[in-house]
Each structure stands twice: as structure tokens, then as C-alpha cells.
């Protein structure tokens, strides 16, 4: 479990990250969304123990991460631009990881070799960008971390490789209860993978939600009346309302049964309750709190 | 051992070796080729040809230029490549995401750096030791020489490395690290020099040489090169201080490393709080450079202030550009304003001499000794070589010197220090052991004032100014009396009693001699040899009466000195510069009417006693023909010469 409390990070005088409280449970795949410059990378680097928060605490299982060797042996951070030592081959890098991470798993390393099919004796710098990214996943997953922190991990990967990596991640989450944090500026890229979503904007959290809760919680109601009641849905949390003639469209937050029960009492001509895409949910949610979502949903 | 294995990361060390190992290997190759092979070659030469013997036991000198330069380059480069990751954001993020604490990472890099400097030196040490043991070299090398070489190299290398690591922590740019490593090594001397130079404008009497040469130069091995390379005896205290200083800087750098924000990679100044310090220091240094620039070109006072302003503005904006890494810094004027206010206050403070520096003359009762020194270089050399001789300590003399000091205070101008005048230094040694040093540049008029005090004639002055009084007569093993012209006469005295007597006579004469420019030199000089020490050289003059008398008594005069009876003739012609000092040209350029030839012993004697009358504008040329020698000895003479009847 990761617990973040009152964390602030200032670069000189500029406040880049300002988070009140966030808790990420074990086994979660957590999507961290935000536009460029929202503070995602800085937040992830603080979570990885690379940079020190100006104030506040970040604890993993009740231990602070910064300068904590034992804890960091179980945490791996993959930056948006993977870094390798100059002129190292995959094999040499594996030696390095093996020494750094005690849980390094040979069987996993060999398995990845079959999946990624890259020459382990070739220097990593001769590989293409996408291949280098695969190498970083290969090494990270071989180290069997309990926490995997990924900054924009799928940039520059083709669909096949993306799928392979996602499978590997999901398997580790399922088998070992690994916790994964993925940052992205694109919701669609991570929605099929994550079960938790956080959105940060200008260093602050605007949303932190379980996706399943969201999906069962927000509903799109299309409804038509001859004459609509004036106080329609007044008692509910309406995120959005549109009307075209006698047809109304409501986005409503709340329990489905109660909503349906209420609809029956107003005797509409017809009504439909439609599924919402995750994207729509976010657009309406954010609208509700007054944020524009344009750049998170490319 | 367990803690080492748990602490030491083999793969991290391997990575360090890939980065910096080549430097270490290269360094060893250079040391081996230049120093070890150099010694082997030297010994085999000497064994083949023993007359080709030269004794110089400083291995630094034998190694030559390249290892000496490498001693300052190699540790810097090592620190540069080892800590390069701090200055690259991606590398820095990666290293700090690893499950190692900053302590482990720092220790790995610094310990690796230290070893990569020391191992080549240790291997060289071992090789030299083997050479020393295995080769027959007639005691040209011993363990003490090798030890000295090793400790000087190691302490110098480590301090350069430590400074470079320290700078690496302060900056996020490798180029800045490189430049500032050397700036920091120069800083103690450079900054003091600048400050003292500029303080001269306000405080006549300030002694720059004293501060820089006696104190600050030792602070950094880069400015202490002379001592590193020339000293024949190693100063253990200094070596220990260098070791200690290197360690202190490395420990301090560790604390900086712990506090250093990872995100400051690529920033010129890694710590936010250092930025204003950097800007103000840089601006101040530039302002001082402006003052020096103005001094070198001898600008007048208003121009000096203009230079201060111009250079401070330049320095301010350069420092802002370095810090902000952009050209667009011209809008920032607030800090420059603060700087001007403080700088103006400081300048006013110095100009008004708030501490009373300029007019301070110590209380005579508190003065133990005083030295008046008009040849600082040789005085310092003598003191460094032999130790100090007592200075003026008689209350009357001290009072006299204080009167001189007060006269100087009243007469010197602020600008005098800029001119290449003769300088007079007054060093008071006070009862409490502290020193008070003042130095004045004197123009001709002021110098006359100094001469009026006749200090240079004082026996005390002679005692501490002449090497003759520093040597131990009982240690001298040979005195040679030679003559300058083809060694026409040469005498060696090796009898101990004679040596001691002769030195005693020389000392007597020296104390009684008139001022230097009133001496009538002979064509003979004398050297006193003491094993292991520099020889003492004395130009003999007719005024060394007691010495000459002694030579006579011992029956050595004829053998030692060029006398009247040795001269066949003296020819005097007008002086012609374009003929140079070529006897043949002079002989043919003049008719018999223009030339005078003297052959009588009386005339020759009279002329020989005036051979030094050549300090004024040359008017005549004197050619002294010695018997059995074709080439004459030539001297130009000024018009003060008195010709024989």
C-alpha cells in the first residue's frame, strides 16, 4: 500500500506538485492522468524515491521510500526515456540488475528473452527506441518488483508489443499482487488496463477513483415527456443535462435502481439508460467540478 | 570483511571502471615511462660514464613536464567522468532510483576515484623501489626520495580530485565543473591578489608579497608548485595538511551530495541558496579585476571608478547568464542595485581607513625586532634557505626605523604601488610573536629619503642581508678565488684554519664597507663552498682591506689576484656603442691621437682602482691587456674617471 500525505514539491519558488492525500492499495493498476506539465513525472519520481518532496510524506507499507534501500529493492521505475549505461549489452545490464535487485528471477529473464526475441549480447544503444523500451520492461519485470512505476510507458511501442507487455503486467498483478502505477496523457491508452484512475492538473488531484465504481455509479438517461416536470431529477446529482425538444439527456450520479424507480414515478413517454464510455464519464465528472478535459482525452 | 562485501557493489565498480579505468591505466603508463624508465636510463648512463654525474634527488623534476601536468589533469578528469551522471538528468534519475543509498553511491564513486589516482602512484612507487634495490646507482636514489615523490604526488592528486568532486556537487553542468575546479584551486591566491591589489588604492603600505607568497600560496597545490617540485626536503606538515584537507573536502562534499536535489542536473548552480552567493561573488571578482585592469594601465582615479562600475555590470550579467542559462537577463537589476550600495560602502570604508591601517606604527616597547628589506626576493630566499638572522633590536635603531616609517607614511602617494619603483619592506616582529609588515614603493625622491637614514650601512642590516653571515664557517670546505677573465688567476683554499680565518676577515670587512655604489671592485671574485648548500659569492673590492691584507700575509696574493704587475698595458679610447665590446674593432677604429696607452705601473694601478666608474653614461672604453693574454678585458667608463698624469 502506498500512502501519500500532504506532499508538496517546489522547484525553486514554483509549486509543481501539491497533493493532499492519496492511498493506493496493493494489487492496484493505477492510471495517473494529466496533461503535459501537470506534475505527473515529478510525482512518480517522488514515489520512486528519486527526488525528495519539499514537504509531506510518501510511505510504502508504513516506511518512507526516500533513501530506503530495502524498500527500493522492491520498487522499479521506468522513465519515459529509458536509460542504460553506455555500451552495455542486455546481458551486462542483467548482471547489473541482478546485483541491485535481490529478487531478480532468472526464469523470468529467460522467459522474456523468448517473448521479446532480442539479442542479449548486442549493445542496447544499437537498438531502436521501441526495442530499448522493451529491454527496460524486460529488465524491470525480471527483477520481480512489488511496485512498478511507469512514466508514459507505451509511447513508441507497436500494438503487438504493447499487448505482450500489458499481459505480462496483468499476470504479475494477478499472480503476485504487484502494484502498478502508469502515467499517461491519454486515457484510452490505459483504460483497458487500469482499475483505478487519478487525474492531476497543475500538480493537484482532481479525481481519484475506482473505475468499477465509476462505471456503476454514473448513468446516461435519455428520456422523453409530453410535458416534463419542472423539478425533474432535482433530488439527484446531475452532472450534465441537455434537451432537444421534448427529448432530454441526463448524466446522473447515483444508484441505478433508485434512478429507475424515480423515472417510473414521472411517467415518461419513453426512456433509455445507456452505457457510458470511461471517457464520457470523465468528461462529465470533470465538468461537474469545473475542469475542462480536452487535453487528457486526445 | 562482511560489511565490505555487503557494501561493495561489484557491478557498480565495473561500471566505474568502464568510465574512468582508462584514465588510471593511462596515468600509470605515463608515470612508468617517464619516471621509472627515466630513472633506469639515468642509472645506466651513470654506470657507463661516472663523470656524467649529476645529483638531484627530486623525482618530480626527473619525471619532467608530462607527469607534473597530469597530476592536475588526471584527478579532475576522473572526478569529471565519475560524477558525470549527476549532470545528466536521465542518468541521475536512474542511479538514484536504484536500491542504494546516496552514501553507498557516493562512497563507490569517490573511493573508486581515490584508488584510480593512488594505484598508478603506488605501482610506480613499487617499481621505483625495485629499481632502487636492483640497480647499482651509487646512492643516486634512496627510499626517502621515493617516499617524498609518492606523498607529494598522492596528496596533490587527492586534493585536486577532492576539489573537483566538491565542485561537481555544487553544479549541474560538467563544463562548469571543469572550469570551476581550476578556479577553486586558484581562488585562494587569485582572490587575495585581486583584493590586496585593489586595497592598495586605499591603503598605502600594504604588503602584497608578504600575504600572497608567505601565506596564501600554500593553500592550494596548484599555486604551491614551486614547493611541490623544487623542495629538496619534503615539508611533512604540509603534506599532512593536504591529505587532511582532501579528506575534509570529500566528507563535506558527501553532506552536500546528500542534500543535493537530483533535479538540479543541467543547472549551473545546483543549490538554490547558492545562486545569490555565486552572483555576488562573481560580480565582486569582476569589479576587482576592473580595478586591476585600471591599475595596469595606470588610469587616473575617476577612470578607476568608471572601470569598477563597468566591470561590475559585466560581471553581474555574466553571472546571471550562467545561473539562468539564457541571454535574456538584462531585466534583472535589483541585485545589482544592492551590490552597488554595499560596494560603495565598502569602498568608502577602505578609503577612510576606518581601522587606522595606514598610520599605524607599532609601539616601540612592543617591538622585539625590525627588518628593513630592500631586496625582498633574496631576503626571503635566504630566510627560507638558512633560517632567520636577528634583525634590528637596539631601541635606538628601532626608533630610527620608526622615524623612517613615519616619514614614508607621510610621503608616499596612493598611486606609487602601480609604478615599478624600488620597494622597501619593513617587518616588525612584535613581542607577542606576531608580525606587522608594511611595504612601500618609493620614487627617486622618496628613495633618497630612505637612503638618508643609512640603514644599509648598519652592521645589523649587513648581517641579515649578506649570505656570508648565514653560513657556518666550520662547515665550509673550500674557498675559491678566481678572476673573471679566462680564470687568469685561480686559488683554492681547503685548509680549515685558513677557511675560518678568511671568512672571519670577510665578515669584518663586510660590516665596514661603504655603500655598494662607492665600492671599487677588482677583477677577482671569491666563492665559499659548503657541502649541500648554495655557494656564497663575493665580488672582491679594494675596500676589503683586511681580507686583502690576510691574503698578503699568507703569501697568496700573487696566486689569487690580478695585480698591477700582471697588466701589460691599458688602452683607453672614446666609447662607441656600435662597435660593441669587440677589442679588435676598438683597436682599429681610432687613430693614435684618440687612443691613450698606459704602461707605467703607477698609471695602471690608478686606473685599475677605477674600473667600476661605469655606472653613469659610458664615455670611454678601457681595455686591460694582461700579460701572456691576447684578448683584453673591456670596461666602459663614465666621465668621472680621473686619468693618470
Chain B hits for A86, Cβ within 8 Å: 18
Do A220 and A196 belong to one domain? no
CATH number for the domain spanning A19: value is 3.40.50.300
Of B96, B100, B104, the CB nearest to A50: B96
Residues in chain B closer than 8 A to A71 (CB atoms): 99
Tell me whether residues A45 and B11 touch, CB distance under 8 A: no
- A99, B11: Cβ pair inside 8 Å? yes
Closest by CA to A122, choosing from A110, A108, A132, is A132
Contact B76, B178 (CB under 8 A): yes
Domain co-membership, A37 together with A160: yes
DSSP reduced 3-state for B529: strand
Nearest chain A residue (CA) to B85: A85
Say if A136 is an interface residue toward chain B (CB within 8 Å). no
In a shared domain, residues A235 and A278: yes
Distance from CA of A187 to the nearest CA of B (A): 26
**Best residue in A95, A96, A133 to probe B by mutation, most B CBs within 10 Å?**
A96
Task: Report the share of chain A in percent with pLDDT over 70.
Answer: 96
State how far residue B100 is from chain A, nearest Cα, in angstroms: 5
CA dihedral B72, B130, B53, B38 (to 10 degrees): -40
Q: Of A202, A221, A250, which residue sits at a domain end?
A: A202
In whole numbers, what is the pLDDT of chain A averaged over residues?
88
Section B187-194 average pLDDT? 84
Asked if B8 has any chain A CB less than 8 Å from its own CB, the reply is no
The overall average pLDDT reported for chain B is 85
Q: Which residues in chain B touch residue A51, judged by CB atoms under 8 angstroms apart? A: 96, 261-263
The verdict on A38 and A157 lying in the same domain is yes
Cell 662597435 found at: B579
Average pLDDT of span B246-253: 96
- Closest-CA residue in chain B for A47? B97
Name the DSSP class of B534: P
Angle, CA of B462, B464 and B465, to the nearest 5°: 60
Q: Is residue A62 part of a domain?
A: yes
Q: Does A49 touch chain B (CB under 8 A)?
A: yes
C-alpha span between A116 and A99 (Å, rounded): 23
Listed by number, the residues of chain A in 83-112 with a beta carbon closer than 8 Å to a beta carbon of chain B are: 83, 85-87, 95-96, 98-101
Using the Cβ of B12 and the Cβ atoms of chain A, whether some distance falls under 8 Å is answered with yes
Banded pLDDT at A43 (limits 50, 70, 90): very high
* pLDDT higher at B90 or B201: B90
Domain count, chain A: 2
Residue B360, H or E segment: none
In a domain, A208, yes or no: no
- pLDDT of B511 strictly over 80: yes
CB contact under 8 A, A83 and B93: yes
Instruction: Say yes or no: A151 and A35 in one domain.
Output: yes
Chain B nearest C-alpha distance from A43 (Å): 13
Q: Are the Cβ atoms of A100 and B261 closer than 8 angstroms?
A: no
Q: What angle do CA A28, A31, A35 make, to 5 degrees?
A: 165
Question: How many interface pairs between A and B have CB atoms less than 8 angstroms apart?
Answer: 63
Confidence band, pLDDT 50/70/90 cuts, at residue A58: very high
Contacts of B10 in chain A (CB under 8 A): 99
Of A202, A224, A257, the residue at which a domain comes to its end is A202
Q: In terms of domains, do A33 and A167 share one?
A: yes
Please, are residues A176 and A146 in contact by the beta-carbon 8 Å criterion?
yes
Helix A159-176, helix A106-116: angle, nearest 10: 160
- Tell me whether residue A207 is in a domain: no
Say what the pLDDT of residue B420 is. Answer: 65
Give pLDDT, residue B213. 67
Looking at residue B211, the DSSP 8-state letter turns out to be I
Q: Are B111 and B18 in contact (CB under 8 A)?
A: no
pLDDT at A184: 86
Kindly state the average pLDDT of the residues B597-624.
82
Q: Which of A45, A99, A100 sits opposite B93 (nearest CB)?
A: A45
B257 three-state secondary structure: helix
Chain B contact set for A85 (CB, 8 A)? 15, 18
Q: Given this model, what pLDDT does residue A298 score?
A: 41
C-beta atoms surrounding A116 within 10 Å: 17
Give B82 to chain A, closest Cα distance, Å.
Answer: 13
User: DSSP readout, A233-258?
Assistant: TTTSEEEEEEEETTEEEEEEES-HHH
In sequence order, what are the residues at sequence separation of 6 or more whose Cβ sits closer than 8 angstroms to the Cβ of residue B537?
Answer: B525, B526, B527
pLDDT computed for residue B531 by the predictor = 81
CA distances from B550 to B535, B544, B547, B559, B594 (A): 21, 10, 5, 13, 41
Cβ A83–B91 below 8 Å, yes or no? Answer: yes
Average pLDDT over residues B200-229: 73
Same domain, A93 and A192: yes
- Does one domain contain both A80 and A174? yes
Q: How far apart are the first and last CA of chain B?
A: 98
Indicate the residue of B15, B97, B100 with minimum beta-carbon distance to A50: B97
Whether residues A79 and B93 touch (CB distance < 8 A) is answered with yes
Q: A235 and A89, same structural domain?
A: no
pLDDT digits (tens, 9 = 90+) for B414-433: 777 777 678 888 889 888 88
Residue A215 has pLDDT above 80, yes or no: no
pLDDT at B1: 47
Given CB atoms, is A76 within the 8 Å cutoff of chain B? yes
Out of A202, A237, A257, pick the residue that ends a domain: A202
In a domain, residue A170? The reply is yes
Closest by Cβ to B11, choosing from A11, A71, A95: A95
Does A184 touch chain B if contact means CB atoms closer than 8 Å? no
Does residue A55 belong to the interface with chain B, where contact is any CB pair within 8 Å? no
In Å, how far are A216, A277, B500, B632 from A211, measured between CA atoms?
9, 11, 107, 113
Structural domain boundaries of chain B? 2-189+232-264, 274-351, 364-465, 468-560, 564-637
Question: How close A196 gets to chain B, by Cα (Å)?
Answer: 24
pLDDT digits over B262-291, tens only?
A: 988 888 898 988 999 999 999 999 999 999
Q: Provide the domain limits for residue A218.
A: 213-296
Residue whose C-alpha cell is 510524506: A57
Q: What is the pLDDT of residue B522?
A: 84
List the grid coordinates of B566.
Answer: 700582471
| B137 vs B386, residue with greater confidence | B386
Among A51, A60, A124, most B C-beta atoms within 10 A, so best to mutate, is: A51
Q: Do B104 and A101 touch (CB under 8 A)?
A: no
Residue of A nearest to B88 (CA): A83
Angle at B413 between CA B411 and CA B419, to 5 degrees: 120
Please, which pLDDT band fits residue B109 given cuts at 50, 70 and 90? very high
Q: Are B94 and A72 an interchain contact pair (Cβ–Cβ within 8 Å)?
A: no
Q: A277 and A232, same structural domain?
A: yes
* CB within 8 Å: B101 and A77: no
Q: Residue B2's pLDDT band (boundaries 50, 70, 90)? A: low
Taking CB atoms and an 8 Å limit, are B99 and A72 in contact across chains? yes
- A21 & A101 share domain: yes
Taking CB atoms and an 8 Å limit, are A51 and B261 in contact across chains? Answer: yes
pLDDT tens-digit readout, A104-142: 999 999 999 999 899 999 999 999 888 999 999 999 999
Here the CATH number for the domain that contains residue A228 is 3.30.70
Q: CB distance from A63 to chain B under 8 Å?
A: no
* A111 belongs to a structural domain: yes
Enumerate the residues of chain B whose CB falls inside 8 A of the CB of residue A69: 99-101, 104
Chain A touched by B18 (CB under 8 Å): yes
Percent of chain A with pLDDT over 90: 49
**pLDDT (tens digit per residue) in B431-484:** 888 888 888 888 888 888 888 888 888 888 888 888 888 888 888 888 988 887
Secondary structure, 3-state, B167-207 = HHHHCCCHHHHHHHHHHHHHHHHHHHHHHHHHHHHHCCECC
- Asked if residue A112 and residue A133 are part of one domain, the reply reads yes
Quote the CA–CA distance of A297 and A33 in Å, as a whole number.
10
Contact B90 A99 (CB under 8 A): no
| Mean pLDDT, residues B593-600 taken together | 85
Q: How confident is the model at residue A288 (pLDDT cuts 50, 70, 90)?
A: low
Amino acid at each position: 500500500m502506498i500512502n501519500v500525505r500532504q506532499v508538496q514539491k517546489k522547484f525553486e519558488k514554483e509549486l509543481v506538485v501539491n497533493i493532499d492525500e492519496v492511498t493506493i492499495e496493493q494489487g492496484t493498476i493505477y492510471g495517473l492522468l494529466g496533461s503535459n506539465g501537470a506534475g505527473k513525472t515529478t510525482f512518480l519520481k517522488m514515489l520512486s524515491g528519486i527526488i525528495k518532496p519539499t514537504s509531506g510524506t510518501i510511505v510504502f507499507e508504513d516506511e518512507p521510500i526516500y533513501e530506503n534501500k530495502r524498500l527500493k529493492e522492491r520498487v522499479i521505475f521506468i522513465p519515459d526515456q529509458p536509460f542504460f549505461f553506455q555500451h552495455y549489452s542486455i546481458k551486462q545490464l542483467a548482471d547489473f540488475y541482478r546485483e541491485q535487485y535481490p529478487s531478480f528471477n532468472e526464469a523470468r529473464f529467460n522467459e522474456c528473452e523468448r517473448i521479446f526475441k532480442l539479442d542479449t549480447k548486442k549493445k542496447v544503444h544499437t537498438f531502436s527506441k521501441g526495442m530499448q523500451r522493451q529491454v527496460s520492461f524486460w529488465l524491470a519485470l525480471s527483477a520481480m518488483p512489488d511496485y512498478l512505476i511507469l512514466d508514459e510507458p507505451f509511447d513508441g511501442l507497436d500494438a503487438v508489443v504493447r499487448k505482450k507487455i500489458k499481459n505480462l503486467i496483468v499476470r504479475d498483478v494477478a499472480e503476485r499482487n504487484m502494484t502498478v502505477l502508469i502515467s499517461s496523457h491519454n486515457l484510452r491508452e490505459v483504460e483497458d488496463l487500469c482499475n483505478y484512475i487519478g487525474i492531476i492538473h497543475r500538480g493537484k488531484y482532481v479525481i481519484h477513483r475506482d473505475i468499477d465504481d465509476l462505471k456503476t455509479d454514473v448513468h446516461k438517461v435519455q428520456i422523453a415527456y409530453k410535458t416534463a416536470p419542472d423539478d425533474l431529477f432535482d433530488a439527484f446529482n446531475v452532472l450534465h443535462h441537455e434537451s432537444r425538444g421534448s427529448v432530454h439527456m441526463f448524466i446522473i450520479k447515483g444508484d441505478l435502481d433508485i434512478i429507475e424507480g424515480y423515472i417510473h414515478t414521472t411517467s415518461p413517454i419513453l426512456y433509455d439508460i445507456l452505457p457510458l464510455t470511461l471517457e464520457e464519464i470523465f468528461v462529465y465528472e470533470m465538468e461537474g467540478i469545473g475542469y475542462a478535459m480536452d487535453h487528457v482525452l486526445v | 570483511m562482511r560489511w565490505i562485501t555487503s557494501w561493495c557493489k561489484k557491478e557498480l565498480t565495473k561500471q566505474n571502471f568502464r568510465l574512468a579505468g582508462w584514465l588510471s591505466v593511462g596515468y600509470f603508463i605515463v608515470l612508468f615511462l617517464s619516471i621509472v624508465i627515466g630513472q633506469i636510463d639515468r642509472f645506466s648512463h651513470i654506470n657507463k660514464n661516472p663523470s656524467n654525474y649529476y645529483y638531484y634527488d627530486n623525482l618530480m623534476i626527473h619525471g619532467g613536464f608530462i607527469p607534473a601536468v597530469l597530476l592536475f589533469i588526471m584527478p579532475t578528469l576522473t572526478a569529471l567522468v565519475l560524477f558525470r551522471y549527476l549532470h545528466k538528468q536521465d542518468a541521475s534519475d536512474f542511479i538514484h532510483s536504484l536500491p542504494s543509498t546516496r552514501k553507498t553511491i557516493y562512497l563507490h564513486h569517490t573511493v573508486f576515484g581515490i584508488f584510480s589516482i593512488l594505484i598508478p602512484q603506488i605501482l610506480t612507487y613499487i617499481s621505483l623501489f625495485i629499481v632502487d634495490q636492483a640497480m647499482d646507482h651509487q646512492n643516486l636514489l634512496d627510499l626517502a626520495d621515493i617516499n617524498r615523490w609518492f606523498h607529494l604526488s598522492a596528496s596533490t592528486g587527492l586534493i585536486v580530485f577532492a576539489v573537483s568532486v566538491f565542485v561537481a556537487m555544487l553544479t549541474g553542468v560538467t563544463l562548469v565543473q571543469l572550469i570551476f575546479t581550476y578556479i577553486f584551486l586558484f581562488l585562494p591566491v587569485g582572490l587575495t591578489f585581486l583584493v590586496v591589489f585593489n586595497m592598495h588604492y586605499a591603503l598605502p603600505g600594504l604588503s602584497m608579497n608578504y600575504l600572497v607568497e608567505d601565506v596564501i600560496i600554500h593553500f592550494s597545490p596548484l599555486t604551491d608548485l614551486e614547493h611541490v617540485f623544487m623542495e629538496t626536503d619534503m615539508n611533512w606538515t604540509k603534506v599532512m595538511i593536504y591529505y587532511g584537507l582532501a579528506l575534509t573536502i570529500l566528507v563535506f562534499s558527501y553532506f552536500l551530495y546528500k542534500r543535493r536535489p537530483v533535479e538540479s542536473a543541467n543547472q549551473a548552480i545546483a543549490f538554490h541558496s547558492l545562486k545569490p552567493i555565486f552572483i555576488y561573488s562573481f560580480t565582486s571578482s569582476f569589479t576587482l579585476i576592473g580595478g586591476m585592469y585600471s591599475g595596469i594601465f595606470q588610469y587616473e582615479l575617476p577612470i578607476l571608478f568608471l572601470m569598477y562600475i563597468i566591470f561590475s555590470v559585466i560581471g553581474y550579467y555574466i553571472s546571471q547568464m550562467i545561473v539562468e542559462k539564457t541571454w535574456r537577463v538584462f531585466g534583472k537589476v535589483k541585485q545589482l542595485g544592492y551590490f552597488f550600495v554595499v560596494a560603495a560602502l565598502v569602498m568608502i570604508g577602505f578609503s577612510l581607513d576606518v581601522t587606522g591601517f595606514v598610520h599605524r606604527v607599532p609601539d616601540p616597547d612592543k617591538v622585539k625586532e625590525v627588518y628593513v628589506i630592500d631586496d625582498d626576493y633574496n631576503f626571503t630566499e635566504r630566510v627560507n634557505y638558512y633560517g632567520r638572522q636577528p634583525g634590528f633590536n637596539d631601541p635606538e635603531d628601532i626608533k630610527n626605523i620608526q622615524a623612517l616609517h613615519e616619514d614614508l607614511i607621510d610621503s608616499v602617494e596612493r598611486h606609487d604601488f602601480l609604478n615599478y619603483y624600488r620597494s622597501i619592506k619593513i617587518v616588525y616582529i612584535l613581542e607577542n610573536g606576531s608580525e606587522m609588515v608594511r611595504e612601500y614603493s618609493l620614487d627617486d625622491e622618496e628613495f633618497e629619503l630612505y637612503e638618508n637614514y643609512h640603514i644599509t650601512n648598519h652592521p645589523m642590516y649587513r648581517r641579515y642581508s649578506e649570505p656570508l653571515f648565514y653560513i657556518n664557517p666550520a662547515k665550509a670546505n673550500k674557498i675559491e678565488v678566481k678572476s673573471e677573465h679566462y680564470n687568469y688567476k685561480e686559488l683554492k683554499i681547503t685548509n680549515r684554519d685558513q677557511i675560518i680565518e678568511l671568512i672571519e676577515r670577510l665578515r669584518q670587512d663586510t660590516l665596514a664597507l661603504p655603500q655598494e655604489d662607492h665600492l671599487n671592485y677588482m677583477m677577482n671574485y671569491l666563492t665559499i663552498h659548503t657541502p649541500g648548500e648554495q655557494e656564497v659569492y663575493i665580488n672582491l673590492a679594494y675596500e676589503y682591506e683586511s681580507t686583502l691584507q690576510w691574503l698578503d700575509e699568507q703569501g697568496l696574493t700573487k696566486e689569487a689576484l690580478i695585480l698591477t704587475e700582471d697588466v701589460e698595458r691599458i688602452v683607453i679610447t672614446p666609447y662607441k656603442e656600435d662597435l660593441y665590446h669587440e677589442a679588435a674593432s676598438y683597436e682599429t677604429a681610432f687613430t693614435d691621437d684618440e687612443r691613450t696607452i698606459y704602461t707605467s705601473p703607477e698609471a695602471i694601478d690608478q686606473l685599475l682602482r677605477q674600473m667600476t666608474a661605469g655606472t653613469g653614461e659610458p664615455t670611454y672604453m678601457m681595455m686591460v691587456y694582461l700579460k701572456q693574454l691576447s684578448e683584453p678585458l673591456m670596461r666602459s667608463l663614465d666621465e668621472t674617471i680621473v686619468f693618470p698624469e
